[in-house]
Chain A
Amino acid sequence: MRAANLPPEEVEDFLSLDGNLERAWQWLSFAYAVREGDGDVVRGLLIYLCSHSTDSVDRDKRASLLERIEDQAIKISELTMEVLVGTHLNWSHVFALVGKEFNPTREKDRIKRIYESLAAQHAQGGQR
């Protein structure tokens, strides 16, 4: 959510740090999606995914975050990975943060298309 503010080329090295190229492309496709489309919508999708990244729910953290969302006391730019993990937000909370509703499936498909295009480009480069 924060790194996605930068041009994808700048985060490329960071995203490849763990050596998993496929995962790096997936992260990179989020970065491209932010640049190409509505950045806040992509961030909203990331917020939802990050909040559901663990099976367990941190009830205190969730209650605190929901209170801040309902009071409009927090902005997307203030959210960090740690604040979101284990909060299991609903889509309504995400929409409240983004400030509008969006279609998550459509965004997911867009990111997938970007990923496939990146993977294809890489395959062409490899063949060469």
Chain B
Amino acid sequence: MKDQKSQVPLDEQASKKLVQEFIHLFSALQQKRDDYPVHPSDQVLNAYVGGALPDAWMQPDVEETSAESWTLSQVSFHVATCKRCDRVVKKLRRPKRKASRFEDYFCAFGITGQRGRMWAFSYATSVALLFAMMMNVSLTLNNHDPLINLHLTTTKITLRQQLDSAANYQRGNWKVTPLGLQASSNAVRPSAAYIHTLRQQQIEKKIPFGSASDGSGVMP
């Protein structure tokens, strides 16, 4: 019974006391050095992180070790006490950052690295600017004289569509958009009687749609 009780792990206080009793054995580990004349090569450190170093136990006389004969214990002790190699090993152990979706797209087009991304960003910005300039020109043209635009865009459509457009323009249901002159959401198809009146007026006056320039349009 007493033996079973003694299997309970030590409490924090007792554990600290236990560590203090043996801490002097690990004094070499308590401060990292930056004055080692010899360091394991990157290849050796890579092998250490990958668990591929020989496991034969040797005396860890680290300072005299040649780069070719590092063992697991030697590299372990060296890395535990060397500032430089500790940094390298930490970097090697750091999990590779997962590529973002944008980076995946870049990679699909063969764009890799910081420089490649900069080029891609510059190219995308240039295309966006060009597109914005084109939009600006389109808006300027459309704002100049909607009637001309109306005329140009309706020459190849049916008379019914022309009448619809004319009626809606006259009612103020048109709006200028980057893609040209478009009917707004509250545009309505004119009644048959209204269309008939318009058609009669056009026939009588022999005026094509869209040719009016006095701002009154083609409406009566």
Contact = CB atoms under 8 A, between A and B. Distances in A.
A74 to B, nearest CB: 10
B135 to A, nearest CB: 50
Contacts of A105: 6, 10, 14, 18
Interface stretch (A32-40, A76-84, A116-124): A76-84
Interface in B38-73: 51, 55, 57, 59-61, 72-73
A54 B79 contact: no
Interface in A66-125: 78, 80-83, 85, 90-92, 95, 101-106, 108
Given A13-B59, A81-B80, A91-B10, A53 B15 contact: no
B6 A52 contact: no
A95 B9 contact: yes
Contacts of B7: 101-103
Given A3-B73, A23-B24, A104-B18, A53 B10 contact: no
Contact of A27 (B25, B55, B76): B25
Given A53-B26, A101-B7, A103-B6, A81 B57 contact: no
B21 interface: yes
Interface string B77-101: 1011000000001100110000000
Given A13-B59, A78-B51, A80-B73, A53 B23 contact: yes
Contacts of B72: 2, 80
A26 B9 contact: no
Contacts of B18: 48-49, 104-105, 108
Contacts of A50: 26, 29
**Most central of B21, B51, B76 by chain A CB within 10 Å:** B76
B127 to A, nearest CB: 42
Contacts of B51: 78
Contact of A91 (B9, B73, B94): B9
**Most central of B22, B73, B79, B89 by chain A CB within 10 Å:** B22
Nearest to B3: A103
15 contacts: A13-B59, A14-B60, A23-B25, A49-B22, A50-B26, A54-B26, A80-B72, A81-B76, A82-B79, A82-B80, A90-B9, A95-B9, A101-B9, A103-B7, A105-B14
Given A49-B25, A52-B23, A91-B9, 20 more contacts: A14-B59, A26-B22, A48-B18, A48-B19, A52-B19, A53-B29, A54-B29, A54-B30, A60-B90, A60-B94, A80-B80, A82-B75, A82-B80, A85-B80, A91-B15, A103-B6, A103-B7, A104-B15, A105-B14, A106-B6
Interface of A: 2-3, 5-6, 13-14, 17, 23, 26-27, 48-50, 52-55, 60, 64, 78, 80-83, 85, 90-92, 95, 101-106, 108
The 9 closest A-B pairs by CB, nearest first: A53-B26, A80-B76, A91-B9, A82-B80, A82-B76, A82-B79, A103-B6, A52-B19, A53-B29
